[in-house]
């Protein structure tokens, strides 16, 4: 699957990788630890009729943990009902979106979660995403997670602490967020799986936006490998995602480092460029074909609002 990961906030990422034609990827939420399901958790689950797949269960758990840890640093969701859940006319494509902005005074810009299911002639594509972006009060990386599953036995994993600086010019940034945190250990866990092979986005822009420790892999379990993929998702993959989230929560989410005004301007421009690119490559190229102009227009407008990116 190719696609631009919609990474939020920085390279949106994602935005950012490129989806297979007709596939779309959005961020997703997780389930609360207890009590009534939050809007974010409901978003990860998707609307009625959204098939249950293992990676969505993992995404719900991760989003729920993020919400629990961030607490009152997140405002309630204000996404309109017709964007929180949406579908095309014949019901072959279903989606959900949730956006929670950061509370005043916090370093959180927004937490965006989404799920997408689209029937295609030879099966279906399921995409689940979670982006947690920080604002300009810190230069710490964003959290980006996206799962793209095109068959019962294979999927693409995109997971990263999305950098907000030119890493070649800032080796201390690499050391602080990727070296000292040993983030690469998480990537190696997936790399060592016999079913995993590196995923190379067809977009050079996407490749340039991620960190050296990004977990970009295709996991293919072969014919009859449905149960093997499910075990990997609930086991190794769940462990890696939770491990990287803990690194982000502990090192990035509460970072209070001072950002020089000149560097802040460059960082904000970088974030905006990545977000714009992810919308251009991913959303505007895929959503209209799946949901039609009216539905896709509402969804994209809500994402633009979260990203702080105006339509060109």
Weakest mean pLDDT among 23-32, 184-193, 224-233: 23-32
CATH code for the domain of 242: 3.40.1500.20
In a domain, 293, yes or no: yes
Q: What is the pLDDT of residues 52-64, one digit of tens each?
A: 999 999 999 999 9
Strands (E), 105-238: 108-120, 123-134, 142-151, 154-162, 196-198, 215-220
In a domain, 9, yes or no: no
Q: Which residues contact 194 (CB under 8 A, 6 or more apart)?
A: none
Q: Using an 8 Å Cβ cutoff, are 155 and 148 in contact? A: yes
Give me the domain span that covers residue 217: 39-304
In a domain, 215, yes or no: yes
In a domain, 71, yes or no: yes
85 DSSP β-pair partners: 96
In a domain, 1, yes or no: no
Residue 173: count of CB within 10 angstroms of its CB? 19
Residue 80: count of CB within 10 angstroms of its CB? 12
* pLDDT at residue 260 is higher than 70: yes
**CA gap 244, 69 in Å, rounded:** 14
Q: What is the pLDDT of residues 68-86, one digit of tens each?
A: 999 999 999 999 999 999 9
pLDDT band at 34 (very low <50, low <70, confident <90, very high): very low
In a domain, 34, yes or no: no
Instruction: Report which of 10, 116, 5, 113 is spatially closest to residue 62, judged by C-alpha positions.
Output: 113
Of the two residues 284 and 250, the one the predictor is more confident about is: 250
In a domain, 5, yes or no: no
> Strand 196-198 and strand 108-120: pairing?
unpaired
For the whole model, what pTM was predicted?
A: 0.85
**CA gap 112, 98 in Å, rounded:** 6
The domain total for the chain is 1
In a domain, 310, yes or no: no
């Amino acid at each position: 699957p190719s696609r631009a990961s919609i990474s939020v906030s920085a390279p949106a990422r994602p935005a950012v990788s490129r989806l297979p034609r007709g596939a779309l990827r959005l961020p997703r939420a997780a389930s609360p630890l207890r009590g009534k399901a939050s809007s974010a958790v409901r978003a990860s689950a998707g609307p009625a009729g959204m098939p249950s797949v293992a990676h969505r269960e993992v995404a719900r758990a991760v989003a729920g943990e993020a919400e629990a840890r961030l607490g009152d640093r997140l405002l309630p969701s204000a996404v309109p009902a017709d964007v929180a859940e949406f579908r095309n006319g014949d019901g072959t494509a279903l989606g959900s979106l949730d956006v929670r902005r950061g509370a005043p005074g916090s370093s959180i810009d927004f937490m965006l979660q989404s799920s997408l299911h689209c029937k295609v002639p030879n099966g279906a594509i399921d995409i689940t995403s979670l982006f947690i972006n920080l604002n300009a009060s810190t230069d710490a990386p964003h959290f980006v997670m996206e799962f793209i599953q095109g068959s019962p036995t294979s999927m693409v994993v995109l997971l990263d602490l999305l950098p907000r600086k030119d890493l070649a010019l800032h080796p201390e940034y690499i050391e602080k967020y990727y070296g000292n945190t040993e983030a690469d250990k998480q990537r190696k866990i997936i790399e060592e799986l016999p079913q995993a092979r590196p995923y190379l986005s067809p977009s050079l822009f996407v490749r340039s936006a991620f960190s050296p420790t990004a977990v970009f892999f295709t996991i293919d379990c072969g014919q009859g490998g449905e149960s093997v993929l499910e075990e990997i998702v609930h086991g190794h993959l769940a462990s890696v995602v939770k491990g990287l989230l803990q690194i982000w929560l502990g090192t990035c989410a509460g970072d209070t480092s001072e950002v020089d005004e000149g560097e802040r301007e460059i960082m904000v421009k970088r974030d905006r460029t990545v977000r714009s690119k992810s919308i251009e490559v991913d959303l505007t190229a895929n959503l209209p074909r799946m949901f039609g102009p009216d539905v896709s227009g509402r969804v994209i407008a809500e994402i633009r609002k979260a990203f702080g990116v105006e339509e060109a």
